[in-house]
Amino acid sequence: MQRVSNKNRGFPRFLGNLRIGLRLIGALAVIALAVLPLLTCARDATAHALVLLHTNDHHGAILPNGGKGGLAERAAFVKSVRADYEDVLLVDAGDINTGPALSNMFDAQPDFTAYNLMGYDVATFGNHEFDKPIAVLREQLARADFPFVSSNIKEGSTFLGGNQYLIKQYEGYTVGIFGITTLRTKIVASPDKSLTFVPEIEAAQDAVAALKKKKVDIIIGLTHIGDVQEAPDHVTSPALAEAVPDIDIIIDGHSHSFFEEPRKVGNTWIVTANEWGKYVGKGVITVSAGEITDFDWGPVAIGGTEGTPGFEPDAEVAAMLEPYITEANKSLKEVVGEASAAFAFGNRLPRYGETALGNLIADANVWYFEKIYNQKLDFAFHNGGSIRAELPKGPITQERVLTVLPFENYLFIASLKGSDILALFDFIATVPQGVGGFPQFSKEARYTLDLSGGAGKITNLTIGGAPVDPDRLYRFCTNDYMMKGGDGYEALTKSENPFNTSLLLSYVVGEYIKAQGTVVPATDGRMTVVGGVTP
């Protein structure tokens, strides 16, 4: 047998060891490559993205308004977001109700069904949820596949809707949501007497304390209180954020405000999404180790913007809405009342003096808010340019009312000091006959417009049968166009306690005619024009 020397045997052993070592290194490398992604995932395991989508002040805007909004279009946007993100929270900050006839006539059934199809997670109550009897609201709650949360409206010992707060569980973090409705609901709406309202700040403090005990990671206030102060005791969303600093995000409604970016008050972000579904607020919340590390938010225009197309209507929601639209179109032929004689329009008569048609429209406002809202108004008035046709003798259909009042004029209720009322009438004296700004008043206001001297002058002005008291506060109703200073009515921009009723002028007039049965054209001397012309 041939022997191998020790030194010759050592080299093969070295090679063998080297091979083993290389195999070991290779194996370790493979393991390292396999483990590295796991280590990376573990390092990022506490980083999560929650997409917050929110709406407010929908107000029955089922169809696009001026090319903006629309429930089917909103649904398409929501669906596109859900396709891109795993965690999506979709909420509404109140006032789903009260708006165009298509929604009103069905008590918002199509609206709630569309919300179900979009997969809303939660909503809170707006003041307009209390415009109709509570039985209607109960039907809506039963129809909704999503919960309502209310921390400050109670029915007996329980919170309206059954939830003082809600907790949403996501993988790796939790979100607590509470709901607050403005106490001004008791003034601007007609909540059932069985309901009690807890002050906003007190209720928010209680809800936030309860959520902190539950150790939720994110606290969201879903509020319908607004960011514009309407009265001295009105608690706004910035005031709530200051008083309750542990709220991470407030999603607000009520003021119909448009935000281009979040508003920060202390440690709290405040966001809102304008009105009528024209925008959806979209915020990407980054959560790491139970803390919000980033909040990237902005409004998304549902009708699109210049250079950016809108969203094609979602087929499922559009199909659901179609029967409602068909039925509503039939209702345009519905007879709501009778005119005993023609309410003349002539050659734009409401732009020249008192008219029976203008009287009917303005008186309808005062009647509606006293009978339906239990609110006493001192007067109502509108620009004659908002009236576009006569009301013929005979049956009055919904379509005819919309022919007389074709604009989507929303009604506002607001207050002016008597001194500002006098300034308002000083301006009215300067409005030439024949222009759209020439006013039509309800019967509570009476005056003489003297044009005989060239420059107009108001005399014999009374409201409610008495001269205007400069120190008294007067409550009035007009349309959104005039409230913004349209037709030169800058005096109205000084109004106090403005409230957007979100009711169309045409709707209120139709309801008034329906209640009267037969309407009779008449003038009563509430406006006397001296030295003017008649077209």
SS3 126: coil
pLDDT at residue 453, rounded to an integer = 79
pLDDT at residue 306, rounded to an integer = 56
Pick among 3.60.21.10, 3.30.1330.60, 3.50.50.60, 3.40.640.10: CATH of 45-327: 3.60.21.10
Strands 473-479 and 88-92: unpaired
pLDDT at residue 510, rounded to an integer = 96
Q: Facing residues of 166 across strands?
A: 177
pLDDT at residue 16, rounded to an integer = 45
CA-only gyration radius of the chain, Å:
31
Token pair, residue 71, equals 């429930």
- List alpha helices for 178-314, DSSP H: 185-188, 200-213, 237-243
pLDDT at residue 1, rounded to an integer = 29
pLDDT at residue 23, rounded to an integer = 52
Residue 511's nearest CA partner among 340, 361, 382, 339 is 361
SS3 121: coil
At 523-534, the pLDDT tens digits run 999 999 999 988
> How many residues are there in the chain?
535
At 358-367, the pLDDT tens digits run 999 999 999 9
CATH number for region 334-530? 3.90.780.10
Along the 535 residues of the chain, how does pLDDT read in single tens digits? 222 233 333 433 433 443 444 454 444 444 444 443 433 333 335 789 999 999 999 999 999 987 899 999 999 999 999 999 999 999 999 999 987 878 888 999 999 999 999 999 999 999 989 988 899 999 999 999 999 999 999 999 999 999 999 999 999 999 999 999 999 898 777 799 999 999 999 999 999 999 999 999 999 999 999 998 877 899 999 999 999 999 999 999 999 899 999 999 999 999 999 999 999 999 999 999 999 999 999 999 998 665 556 789 999 999 999 999 999 888 888 999 999 999 999 988 999 999 999 999 999 999 999 999 888 999 999 999 999 889 999 999 998 998 899 888 999 999 999 999 999 999 999 998 988 899 999 999 999 999 997 789 999 999 999 999 999 999 999 999 999 888 889 999 989 999 999 999 999 999 999 999 999 999 999 999 999 988 8
**pLDDT, averaged across the chain:** 89
pLDDT at residue 406, rounded to an integer = 80
- Cα four-point dihedral sign 174, 147, 55, 180: negative
Q: What are phi and psi of 511, to 5 degrees?
A: -65, -35
Output b/e per residue, 214-225; b: 16+ Cβ within 10 A.
Answer: eebbbbbbbbbb
Residue 163, amino acid: N
d(CA 74, CA 311): 8
Question: Are 514 and 419 contacting, i.e. CB atoms less than 8 angstroms apart?
Answer: no
Question: Are 415 and 497 contacting, i.e. CB atoms less than 8 angstroms apart?
Answer: yes
CA 328, 321, 319 angle in degrees (round to 5)?
135
Share of the chain above pLDDT 70, in %: 90
List the domain boundaries for the chain.
Answer: 45-327, 334-530
Residue 462's nearest CA partner among 502, 422, 404 is 422
- DSSP state for residue 423 in the 8-state scheme: H
pLDDT at residue 309, rounded to an integer = 63
d(CA 106, CA 268): 38
d(CA 440, CA 502): 21
Q: Is 386 exposed, middle or buried (0-12, 13-18, 19+ CB in 10 A)?
A: buried
Question: Are 280 and 299 contacting, i.e. CB atoms less than 8 angstroms apart?
Answer: yes
Which residues make Cβ contacts (< 8 Å) with residue 62, sequence separation at least 6? 70, 71, 100, 102, 103, 110, 111, 114, 321, 324, 325
pLDDT at residue 67, rounded to an integer = 85
Output b/e per residue, 459-469; b: 16+ Cβ within 10 A.
Answer: eebebeeeebe
Question: Are 402 and 390 contacting, i.e. CB atoms less than 8 angstroms apart?
Answer: no
pLDDT at residue 304, rounded to an integer = 60
